[in-house]
Structure 1
Amino acid sequence: MTGIIPSAGARRAITVSVMLAAMMNSLDTTIANVALPHIQGSVAASADEISWVLTSYIVAAAIVTPLTGWLADRLGRKTVLVWSIIGFTAASGLCGLATNLQEIVLFRLLQGVFGASLQPMSQATMLDMAPPGEQAQAMGLWSMAALLGPILGPTVGGWLTESFTWRWVFFINLPFGIIAALGVSAFMTSQPQAEPRPFDLFGFGMLGLAVACLQLLLDRGQTQDWFSSTEICIYAGGILFFGYLFVVHILTAERPFLDVALFENRNYILGCLIGFLLVIMLFGTLALIPSMLERLMGYPVVLTGIVTAPRGIGSMITMGTSGYTLKRFDPRLVMTVGFLLAAFSLFQMSGLSLGMDARLLVISGFLQGMGSGMIFVSLSLLSFGTLSSKLRNQGTAMFTLVRNVGAAAGISILQILSVRASASVHSRLVENIRPDNPVLGRAVPGFDFHNPVAVAAMNGQIDRQAAMVSYVDVYWLLFIVTLMGMPLVLLLRAPRTAMTPDQQIHME
């Protein structure tokens, strides 16, 4: 496969278009969360029913993401991107027009199907059209779109919901989708694959079923009380059964769904592992902080968005300057500094308390944003810098899938740890709330154990203290996980400094 680097004007137009596509997709992973209570009231759904608005999108995207690499190889990347943007934009409009639960769940499922290819194909496009020596800058720009979406999603979603209606969290995609579709269609060239791989239906089916079971387990585990539920046990069995069949198939089939050469590239495998740990740290804190601020500190939605905004500013700074930084420093060194910043921010967050002001959160969020940006851009460059361009469509698709699974796993695991730690701390604190405790008598003189209002107020304060202790414990755990991920950087190979014939830039 050979090709040419687009002109500077075409590169700029394509860059804007694919960044808008990636931003739309990443924004939709979190923007609907804030509007969920409003949607629930509008369509008269129960708490369990409304959760399918999120679950349908997540599961559909997880199943289709591995398929996007094969589709791009078969049909051409431009064709896949254009139709994915059109389908995602149309589904977004239909979500905003939905009048009942069944409609919005169906349209969210379509959003997931069409949105699955937006991030991997936009990343592959940015890598392929970047001139030699400018891939770091390209990955910095793409990373801004991929990471800022989840960071800004709660803020944008809260503002749209409060200022207009929940329908605008979907309508906001329409102008950006139209611009992205027109830009990709007008400026991106299409080249057919010389030797398209045959479609491995069995391999795709087994992988899709295993991933669907995993996402359903992670998404519904908390509400179904995990493995005490028959439903969750069925999902766990499906993960093991379908996952086993998939692994055996790709190791024995002549032309499996995934090219085994992907798993022979050390940087790519390590990149997937580090990316998995990164999104646990990033999305875990993103999921916990708004809940902590709103439930324990009484922050309104808009103020929560303002307090968490410095995280996005820090990411923008390091991603925006990555082209300059990575030309002068080894990406492994930059990634190590990013890990240190992220770890230090989590160490700071382990000192949070109910009596704090917003300053500590602003500083730690800014540092974590800077660290995440340094890690993510360097990781993308190292993961794909040694990977053949023939494997780039499949590689970016699986890279995205691993990140998405990591984000879902991180949120689910940290939430269950937080809930259980809070219950444990609450039980220990309640043990000391008794009339014969002299410490309680000095702290709250005259407390009436027979007054239900006073007892309820005391229990509310215990709930807040227990929840805060559980959040601090989780931040300590994330601090340790981040430190554990640092040695993996030492195993990465330095990226190539020159383009090989196999890496000749092409547009598919």
Structure 2
Amino acid sequence: MSTPETHREVPHRGLITISIMLATVMQVLDTTIANVALPSMTGDLGASRDTINWVLTSYIVSAAIMTPVTGWLSDRVGRKELFLVSVVGFVVFSMLCGVAWSLESMVAFRLMQGVFGAAIVPLSQTFLLDINPRERHGQAMAIWGAGIMVGPIIGPTLGGWLTESFNWRWVFFINLPVGIVAFIGMLIYLPSIAKRARSFDFFGFAMLSLGVGALQLMLDRGADADWFSSVEIWIELGLSLTGFWIFIVHTIMGDHPFIDPKIFLDRNFATGLVFIFVIGVILLASLALLPPMLSAIFAYPTITTGLVMAPRGVGTMISMLVVGRIVHRMDPRILVVIGLLLTAQSLYDMSGFSPQMDSWPIIVSGIVQGLGLGLVFVPLTTVAFATLDARFRTDATALFSLVRNIGSSIGISIVSALLTRNVQVNHAELSAHINPFNPNLWMAMPDAARSDPTALARVDGMVNTQALMISYVDDFKLMMLVTLAALPLIFLLRRPQYGNAGGGSAPAAHMD
């Protein structure tokens, strides 16, 4: 094991960080940047509104399946080599996505883009932990977290601007210059880590892939297939449960499992996985709700929606940069509690939204939520890896990314399904009061009470808007309760000690 002093011998730490973060932001952006371009792709690729969603599904499923194998691949081919290959492959298939000529070619290229992009985020986290001493891990995770959390926020805005100003194909072409700069920087400055012989547990990987792939497919396809009214969803649920169950049994009972079960004996890391699952639910679920809400209820165009949501990213970056400097000077668990309470407060404020308000409450609640999530993410990531043996670090970062992504997928699916259901319920309840016997209707809109078609259509539009707003408010309340429910987990975290170079220190970085 190396000591913290070993890290200070790594030259060009700043240039390495910039190169790594360029690659990370490039990959994270692609999880959301293509969403707003889907309507424009539909006509060019000869797809329907339903089938075009496979452009997103193929990427999500392939990335989820390949993320857990990052640790084995990095040991087998080398961490630096895997990172470089991942960036090259991601950029190449991004360019092919940009020149796709049919839906089939686009889905195939997006699938391969997910395969190569899966390792980028966990490897970037691993390298930042490796090249920094333990007392600087908080600052390193602040930089990494800013890219991870701000990327999805600016993705839809950037995608909308590129689509409107140029063409949807530029959503993918934009990766070329970023990828080239990141590749050159990593090729020159990234330290090489010694390879390690490691057998591959194909059965364990196959079962985990089955569980993760079927779960992601179910979550992504659920809304289109009408959830559990569809045989397809039941089959995918069965496959997912079967895959996860066999994987867990095999991991506990097997001699050389795909993921060493000792990694879960670290209490901080195991608790961190639960926390990051909750953060994934809150971060992307709220991001998935706000753009359609601003469009449907407030009639904001894409660019205006991006500007209204931008302060959320600013709040996140500010809190991360501040907390990165103080996380080692105070108990990080206190920062996590403060962050969760701020996040819950922002969601409580969002539950008071109404169709008559201006954009100011959205901006303020976004800033508060950004501050809260930033306060949670950095100390949580630092504490989760502080006591973990360094030999598990690459596998651990892969699991960390996988659990965050699964949390995001589950969160988006739940709030979207509840939104659809609650709109129907709220519309029925509100419509029940629209009748000629209601004196309030006679006072407010006598023409509607007399069954004038034009007036009734106007009333129906108002009812639709109110039903939709109430449904969004219900989702925000649910996310607030989920946030508060995560608070007791703080008692399971142990405060890390930064004065020693125990098991949590990183392996020595062997320079080229």
| Shorter-chain TM-score tier | over 0.9
- Matching residue within 151, 176, 180 for 1:178: 180
Q: What does 1:59-78 align with in structure 2 at a 5 Å threshold?
A: 59-78=61-80
Contact 1:311–1:366 at 8 Å: present in 2 too? yes
The amino acid of 1:253's aligned partner reads G
Work out the CA distance in 2 between the residues paired with 1:184 and 1:73.
18
**Superposition deviation, residue 227 in structure 1:** 0.7
Amino acid in the other structure paired with 2:492: L
- For the residues of structure 2 that align with 1:70 and 1:496, how far apart are their CA atoms? 29
Percent identity over the alignment is 47
Structure 1 partner of 2:117: 115
Match of 1:474 in 2: 475
Instruction: Indicate the residue corresponding to 2:345 in structure 1.
Output: 344
Return the letter of the residue paired with 2:51.
Answer: E
State the Cα distance separating 1:504 from its structure 2 match: 4.2
Residue 189 of structure 2 is aligned to residue 155 of structure 1: no
Once the 2 structures are TM-superposed, how far is the Cα of residue 448 of structure 1 from its aligned partner?
6.3
Tell me what 2:491 maps to. 490
- Equivalent residue letter for 1:82: L
**What secondary structure sits across from 2:291 in the alignment?**
helix
Secondary structure (helix, strand or coil) at the match of 1:133 reads helix
Separation of aligned partners in 2, 1:458 and 1:238: 46
Cα–Cα, structure 1 residues 144 and 109, in superposed 2: closer, same or farther, change >3 Å?
Answer: same
Asked whether the equivalents of residues 442 and 449 of structure 2 are also in contact (C-alpha less than 8 Å), the reply is no
Summarize the Cα distance change of 1:440–1:135 in structure 2 as closer, same or farther, 3 Å threshold.
same
Long gaps (5+) in structure 1:
none
Aligned partner of 1:53 among 52, 55, 58:
55
C-alpha displacement at 1:500, in angstroms? 2.2
Aligned-pair distance for 1:22? 1.0
Whether contact under 8 Å (1:89, 1:174) holds in the other structure is: yes
Paired amino acid for 2:448: F
Measured at CA, do residues 106 and 499 of structure 1 come closer, stay the same or move farther in structure 2, by a change above 3 Å?
A: farther
Residue-by-residue CA offset, 1:62-120 (whole Å, 9 max, x unaligned): 00000111111222110110000000011111111111111111111111000100100
Aligned to 1:252: 253
Residue in 2 aligned with 1:26?
Answer: 28
The answer as to whether partners of 1:74 and 1:192 remain within 8 angstroms in 2 is no
CA-CA distance at 1:7 after TM superposition: 4.8
Distance in 2, matches of 1:277 and 1:507, equals 33
Contact 1:311 1:362 (8 Å CA) reproduced: yes
1:325 Cα deviation (Å)?
A: 1.6
**In the alignment, which residue of structure 2 is the partner of 1:83?**
85
For 1:224, the equivalent position in structure 2 comes to 225
Specify the alignment match of 1:395 in structure 2: 396
Residue 456 of structure 1: aligned partner: 457
- CA drift of 1:9 comes to 4.8
Task: Report the Cα distance in structure 2 between the residues aligned to 1:168 and 1:79, rounded to whole angstroms.
Answer: 28
Q: Structure 2 counterpart of 1:494, which letter?
A: R
Alignment of 1:293-308 (within 5 A): 293-308=294-309
1:201 corresponds in structure 2 to: 202
In the TM superposition, residue 507 of structure 1 has moved relative to its aligned partner by 3.3
Is the CA contact 1:209–1:242 (under 8 Å) kept in the aligned structure 2? yes
1:439-466 deviation line (CA, Å, top 9, x unaligned): 2111111226654443333222211100
**Quick check: 1:188–1:507 contact (8 Å CA) kept in 2?**
no
Whole-angstrom CA distance in 2 between matches of 1:458 and 1:199: 63
In structure 2, what is the equivalent of residue 137 of structure 1? 139
**Number of the residue aligned with 2:283:** 282
- Deviation, 1:242, is 1.4
Report what 1:211 is aligned to: 212
Give the letter aligned to residue 319 of structure 2: T
Q: Distance in 2 between matches of 1:379 and 1:16?
A: 23
Counterpart Cα distance in 2 of 1:7 and 1:455: 74
> Unaligned 5+ residue runs, structure 2?
none
Contact 2:441–2:449, Cα closer than 8 Å, also in 1 = no
TM normalised by structure 1 equals 0.97
* Shift in Å, 1:8: 6.3
Distance in 1 (alpha carbons) for counterparts of 2:115 and 2:169: 20
Aligned Cα root-mean-square deviation (Å): 1.4
Identify the residue that residue 235 of structure 2 maps to in structure 1: 234
Residue identity opposite 2:386 in structure 1: G
Give me the whole-angstrom Cα distance separating, in 1, the residues matched to 2:120 and 2:159. Answer: 21
Describe how 1:186-197 pairs up with structure 2 within 5 A.
186-194=188-196, 196-197=197-198
1:250 counterpart letter in structure 2 = T
Structure 1: distance between partners of 2:324 and 2:219: 36
SS in 1 for 2:328: helix
Between the aligned partners of 1:74 and 1:384, the Cα distance in structure 2 is 23
Contact 1:43 1:100 in 2 (8 A): yes
